[in-house]
Amino acid sequence: MIEKEVIVIGAGLAGSEAAWQVANSGVPVKLVEMRPIKSTPAHHTGEFGELVCSNSFGALSPDRAAGLLHQELRSFNSLIVNTADKFAVPAGGALAVDRSKFSKALTEVLSNHPLIEIKRFEQLDIPSRENITILATGPLTSDELSYKIQDFTGFDACHFFDAASPIIYGDTIDQEIVFKASRYDKGDPAYLNCPMNKNDYIHFRNELIDGEQANLKDFEKESAKFFEACLPIEEIARRGIDTMRFGPLKSIGLWNPKWGDLFDKENRLKKRPHAIVQLRKEDLEGKLLNMVGFQTNLKWSEQKRIFRMIPGLEKAEFVRFGVMHRNTFLESPRLLLPTLQFIKRENLFAAGQLTGTEGYAAAAAGGLLAGINASLLAKGKKTLSFPSESMIGSLMHFISNRNKIMSNQKKNKFQPMPASFGLVPELTYKIKDKRLRYKAYQERSKEALNGFKKILDSCFEKDHILVDIY
């Protein structure tokens, strides 16, 4: 067994996945995590893979981009997605997890792996060139290390402002008003829904817009740059009177049987709420509920006052209020190869949200690829890139597409990107039906990855030790 060690900095989703993949290839790993010695503006524990925003990994079905990404990750023995599956909570058509059990399980599995050494301290610099290193410090990379990364790359770090939704106690909502349902009755009735009439909605929107904002004194004194996929609810409200109703407060597809016959069109149009606020379980028992789409930068006192205006939440007690934090990411197209190696240093990798991918599964995908390639490098073999026909490959090719960003640098500054069918190459033939087209993408991905696995297996030969996850 090769004794050359790989250093993984950061034990979030990407770092945890990377460490798992490296160790399972027979290569020793030093996993460095600064928490709880030093925390961040958004974390609350020292557990690995702590989810600081939503507890949802996105759609489950492989005919959706996130679902296809989950399926691909499972086929490579992903620690992150397998753990998410084990601690899943009802969420309609989405993969959501009990975040506490999820992160504790990750910490336990990695701490007990025979080839992983856990180190708890703040990494203040990039390890020397003698070390194979994976930077997986995430969007909340500490200032000290951020400065060192900027010095190394020659680029100022990019950033956007992100926000987390509040969490409330499930037993403090009004069960007479709130009803269970999933949109379009997909899956079990996994969401709790708070209906609002037009007057409720307008008053609520006005209060949101006028609500007092938290001071961003810890961040740069500039106008906040929000990531479009995670806008604060008050920012959505400012964009138009009905913007929330066509976003997180959409009422279409949700129906309470108490209102009468769903198939009676006249009754349906008359009784459908003007808007609906959804709550999603944070744990199997429903003791904790996440306010879906309610990322916010309101002051905590304002959150309590304004969110209690929502019908059914008049007496809601908050476990955690929403918070805002700055997310840092690299100018990856100028810095990284599709293998996630830095162009100017082949034994230094970046993975996860630091590279400009968005979403939990995408972070795991980066960790998986960086872990595989760091293992190959440690064994003296050539690194590999995933086929672009796969969702993993399309994401990694997007964030490393130097030619695209160089030719459009004035028009399209690089911004974080989630999994999307818009990233994968077009099919060689046209399929008008969207579901059939996505099914074709799924089949093409499976075929491409089967070929990739054969190449990967020949590289590793019999080196994988494949420690069981549970």
206-262: pLDDT as tens digits: 999 999 988 764 444 444 455 555 788 999 999 999 999 999 999 998 989 888 876
Q: What is the mean pLDDT of residues 80-107?
A: 94
Higher pLDDT, 421 or 195: 195
* Average pLDDT score over residue span 48-56: 90
Residue 1 falls within a domain, yes or no? no
Q: Using the predicted structure, report yes or no on whether residue 405 has a pLDDT greater than 50.
A: no
State which residues form the domain around 274: 167-322
> 364 and 451: one domain?
yes
Q: Model confidence at 403, in pLDDT bands (50, 70, 90)?
A: low
Q: Are residues 447 and 410 in the same domain?
A: yes
Domain presence at residue 55: yes
Number of domains in the chain: 2
Work out the mean pLDDT of the chain and round it to a whole number.
Answer: 88
Residue 9 pLDDT more than 80? yes
Pair (12, 136) in one structural domain? yes
Q: What is the pLDDT of residue 264?
A: 66
Question: Is 11 in the same domain as 146?
Answer: yes
User: Within a domain: residue 469?
Assistant: no
pLDDT at 409 over 80: no
Same domain, 341 and 281: no
Q: Averaged over 331-347, what is the pLDDT?
A: 95
Are 453 and 333 found together in one domain?
yes
**Is 182 in the same domain as 255?**
yes
Per-residue pLDDT tens over the stretch 438-470: 999 999 999 999 999 999 988 887 555 555 555
Q: Take residue 145 and report the two structure tokens written for it.
A: 């290390």
| CATH code of the domain containing 38 | 3.50.50.60
Tell me, yes or no, whether 173 and 317 share the same domain.
Answer: yes
List, for residues 116-166, the tens digit of each pLDDT value: 999 999 999 999 999 999 999 988 888 899 889 999 998 876 666 677 789
Whether residue 338 sits in one domain with residue 312: no
Residue 185 has a pLDDT of: 73
How confident is the model at residue 93, as a pLDDT?
Answer: 86
Q: Establish if 222 belongs to a structural domain.
A: yes
What value does the mean pLDDT take over residues 169-173?
Answer: 92
- Please report whether residue 467 resides in a domain: no
Q: Domain with 268 in it: what CATH number? A: 2.40.30
Locus of tokens 């630091």: 354
**Of 183-192, 344-353, 378-387, 433-442, minimum mean pLDDT range:** 183-192
Which of 263, 293, 322 finishes a domain? 322
User: Are residues 313 and 174 both part of a single domain?
Assistant: yes
In terms of average pLDDT, the best of 110-114, 322-326, 402-406 is 110-114
Instruction: Look at residue 220 in the predicted model and tell me its pLDDT.
Output: 42
- pLDDT tens for 386-399 read 999 999 999 999 99
Instruction: Examine the fold and report which residue of 285, 301, 322 is the final residue of a domain before the chain moves on.
Output: 322
Asked which of 289, 322, 355 is the last residue of a domain, the reply is 322
- Percent of the chain at pLDDT exceeding 90: 64
Question: pLDDT tens digits, residue range 198-208?
Answer: 999 999 999 99
More confidently predicted of 230 and 423: 423
- The share of the chain scoring above pLDDT 70, in percent, equals 88
Between 264 and 79, where is the model more confident? 79
Per-residue pLDDT, averaged over 18-26, amounts to: 95
pLDDT at 410 over 80: no
Q: Is 118 part of a structural domain of the chain?
A: yes
- Could you tell me if 179 and 133 lie in one domain? no
Residue 206, domain member (yes or no): yes
pLDDT given for residue 216 in this prediction: 60
465 occurs within a structural domain: no
Question: pLDDT class for 365, splitting at 50, 70, 90?
Answer: very high
Rounded average pLDDT over 351-369: 94
- 305 and 436 share one domain: no
